[in-house]
């Protein structure tokens, strides 16, 4: 149980285009999902907390207009990187918490974004 | 504020020997502590957590961790390491105080290399 999927697993795009990454909780409902960014050989940096039906809460320094987050249902959150640039190339990982309690975050497999 | 330190960037151990990955934390209140493992180009897999109760926590794949409040540590241990344990390990903390929200703070990660 507690499986989180991400799609796509890998994406290559041209500079200036927008890319959407989906995060789904497959066998549980998640009122809260998190989006992280991980640079090579570094730790995870929280970008934003996504709550179903409300606006995401962004961490300091993260541009909300560049990284659009939508959490439209209890099983799906999306991250859209708008007008991507090479410096946005990174490994993006989502996680989800079980609705109704529990403190464990369950992580998706990650999405490798490469912006040319 | 909450923070986590993993003082070792890498730990090398021979297969069959005990494995220890160190973690110390800092929170203003009481901590929830987690260990995750990450294999190359993958998301994080949950290993174990400490919420309350017994200071020795047993988790997946034969791993365990001991919560030491006086030393503010939560070291990960495995009595007999396997080559397949080679991966990147992350310690994470969440302050259970009401103002802390749901955010996890991750340590910098420790790469474990188990040699046959």
**What pLDDT is stored for residue A1 in this prediction?**
65
**What pLDDT is stored for residue B92 in this prediction?**
94
Instruction: State which residues of chain A have pLDDT below 70.
Output: 1, 100-102
Inform me whether the pLDDT recorded for B100 exceeds 60: no
Consecutive H or E run containing B84: none
Mean local confidence (pLDDT), B19-28: 94
Residue B85 pLDDT level (bands cut at 50, 70, 90): very high
Residue B41 pLDDT level (bands cut at 50, 70, 90): confident
**What pLDDT is stored for residue A55 in this prediction?**
87
- Cβ atoms < 10 Å from Cβ of B88: 18
Residue B47 has phi, psi (to 5 degrees) of -105, -50
List the beta bridge partners of residue A55. Answer: none
Chain B partners within 8 Å of A8 (Cβ): none
Residue with tokens 């497959």: A26
Cα–Cα distances (Å) from A97 to A32, A82, A85, B74, in that order, read 6, 26, 30, 22
Cβ of A110 within 8 Å of Cβ of B43? The answer is yes
Cβ of A110 within 8 Å of Cβ of B42? The answer is yes
Chain B partners within 8 Å of A103 (Cβ): 32, 49, 51, 94
Mean local confidence (pLDDT), B37-54: 88
In angstroms, the separation between the Cα of residue A18 and the nearest Cα of chain B is 22
């Amino acid at each position: 149980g507690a499986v989180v999927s991400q799609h796509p697993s890998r994406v290559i795009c041209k500079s200036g285009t927008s890319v959407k990454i989906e995060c789904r909780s497959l066998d549980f409902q998640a009122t809260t999902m998190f989006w992280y960014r991980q640079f090579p050989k570094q730790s995870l940096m929280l970008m934003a907390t996504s709550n179903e039906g409300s606006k995401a809460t962004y961490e300091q320094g993260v541009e909300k207009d560049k990284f659009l987050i939508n959490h439209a249902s209890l099983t799906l959150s999306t991250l859209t990187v708008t007008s991507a640039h090479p410096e946005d190339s990174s490994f993006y990982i989502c996680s989800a918490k079980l609705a109704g309690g529990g403190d464990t975050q369950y992580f998706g497999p990650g999405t490798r974004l490469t912006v040319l | 504020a909450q923070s986590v330190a993993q003082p070792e960037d890498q730990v090398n151990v021979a297969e069959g020997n005990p494995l220890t990955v160190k973690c110390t934390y800092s929170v203003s209140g009481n901590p929830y502590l987690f260990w995750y493992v990450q294999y190359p180009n993958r998301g994080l897999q949950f290993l174990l957590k400490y919420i309350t109760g017994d200071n020795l926590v047993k988790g997946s794949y034969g791993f365990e961790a001991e919560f030491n409040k006086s030393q503010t540590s939560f070291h990960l241990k495995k009595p007999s390491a396997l080559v397949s344990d080679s991966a990147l390990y992350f310690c994470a903390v969440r302050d259970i105080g009401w103002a802390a929200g749901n955010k996890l703070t991750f340590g910098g990660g420790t790469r474990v290399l188990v040699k046959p």
